Chains A and B, each alone.
Chain A
Amino acid sequence: MIKIALALFLIWQLAVILYQFWEPFRKKLARLQFYLCGLLPAWQMFGPDPIDGDFLVFYRTAPENDATDPRYTEWELVDYDKKPMLAFSLFFNPRGNFVKALREICQETVKASSDRNVFYQLLLNDLIHRCRVRQSVTTDQTHQLSSTVRARLLQFQIRWQTPTAVTPIFSSHAHPY
């Protein structure tokens, strides 16, 4: 039993080393990485090149009956990255992992540049929900009936922010919601 355990751990360690450094081996097993849940990691934390900017997600809306010449609102930033209080940051920071997911979603959306892409749809889904929630709050505040809420168009934009500049890198189509 001891020999079996020792052999398994050694083979696993060897596989991890090969996966990290040997490109053909990594390519061969890349498809399995999702299922291995990190058991064959490709360690590259902030190296060799670090993250040098942030994705910012903006959206704007317009009444749908203006579809030919939509009068959009100003672009609004969605604040996905709410920092935890310093005192709790060691124990509780749920947005930390969330930001990582958002970065991947933005990356894939920009790369695909198609509204049929899953990541594009995920971002759109979230933004539509945010707009609906916001719209219902506004409607409640003005004491209007929900039936008077008009259909609207939504467009989002992904921008890349570095310490020196903010550059729009992707604009979506206008989507009714």
Chain B
Amino acid sequence: MHIPIDWQSAESCLQLVRWLLFLSLTISSLHNISNSSAFGQNGLLAWSLQKYAYQEKGLEWTFLDNLFGRTGFVLLNLLRLALLAAGFANVFLPLVLPALLLVSVVIYIRAFLPMSGADQLNTIVLTCLVPGSMVPSPAIHAISLCAIAGQVIFCYFSNGLLKTQAPGWWKGTHLKTLLLTGNYSRKGVAGLAAITGQPLFRALGSMIVIWELSAILAPFLPAALLWTYLGAGILFHLTIAVVMGLNTFFWSYVSTYPAILFSWHIVDHAVRSFI
């Protein structure tokens, strides 16, 4: 199969990272707009009440009443969608990316409660992309991609490390418990999990921990193994999206994979030149 992307080219990888990230942010904004009634006067996340929690954190500006009400929140997301449209079209990127970061930060602050690890990673990736958009230097582009790869590899590794401390992840009991919940499973899957034997969960639980831990080795793997590793990652996030309902994780994490591939080439090149 021919993939029309040069994984050794920072430009090419950055373009792919940007598009996947823009897709992730587009989905996130559509979710926000769809949930906007919750941000209104009578909603679960009404600003008129929630602002008291923000005041404890030092946010007491009165103009936030307009910005963080339902209309302001919808407008913020529409503005982000407009910026994303410009981003997809690759126009005014040196202006669009910093503006996108700013708007995303404001949205993050307003929607702090529903924000997840995927939204955190989106902010991280966006921050890494901003310097590259402002300085047209191949070296800065390469540094941006390596920074993205570093952050996501550390994320996987530290999540794996945390899970190693819980014997339940190795035994598979934690995975089974998770799949039996209502919020992070589906009825059919929960039913299946209830009747499935422990050995399968032990295998799956251990695989998740080992896969997350081995992220730290990704830049040093042989090419075929790296592709297998990333393929497993896509499958992992796809399953999480469909079964657990965490679809934004798929787009945020997969958006960083071109950066991992680019970093792999940098490491590979360095090792070859050293040998």
A interface list, Cβ under 8 A from B: 1-2, 5-6, 9, 12-13, 16-17, 20-21, 31, 34-35, 37-39, 41, 43-54, 81, 83-84, 86, 89-105, 118-119, 121-123, 125-126, 128-129, 161, 163
Contact = CB atoms under 8 A, between A and B. Distances in A.
A125 B43 CA distance: 7
B49 interface: yes
Contacts of B46: 122, 125-126
B197 to A, nearest CB: 16
A91 B247 contact: yes
Nearest to B48: A125
A38 B120 contact: yes
A13 B150 CA distance: 7
Contacts of B128: 9
20 contacts: A2-B137, A9-B144, A9-B147, A13-B147, A13-B154, A16-B154, A38-B115, A38-B119, A38-B124, A46-B163, A48-B166, A49-B174, A81-B183, A89-B247, A90-B241, A96-B245, A98-B114, A100-B114, A118-B53, A126-B43
| Chain B interface, >50% SS class | helix
B245 A122 contact: no
Interface residues of B, number: 77
Contacts, number: 204
Contact of A122 (B50, B144, B150): B50
Contacts of B163: 46-48
Contact of A92 (B31, B52, B57, B159): B31
Contacts of A12: 147
A104 B190 CA distance: 23
B42 interface: yes
Contacts of B10: none
B140 A45 contact: no
Give the one of A91, A103, A123 with max B CB within 10 A. Answer: A91
B248 A97 contact: yes
Of all A-B residue pairs in the complex, the 8 with the closest CB atoms, nearest first, are: A38-B120, A129-B42, A48-B166, A97-B114, A47-B162, A101-B113, A101-B114, A94-B34
A88 B158 CA distance: 31
A43 B117 contact: yes
Interface string B239-252: 00110011110100
B113 A5 contact: no
A121 to B, nearest CB: 5
A9 B140 CA distance: 11
B237 to A, nearest CB: 10
B186 interface: yes
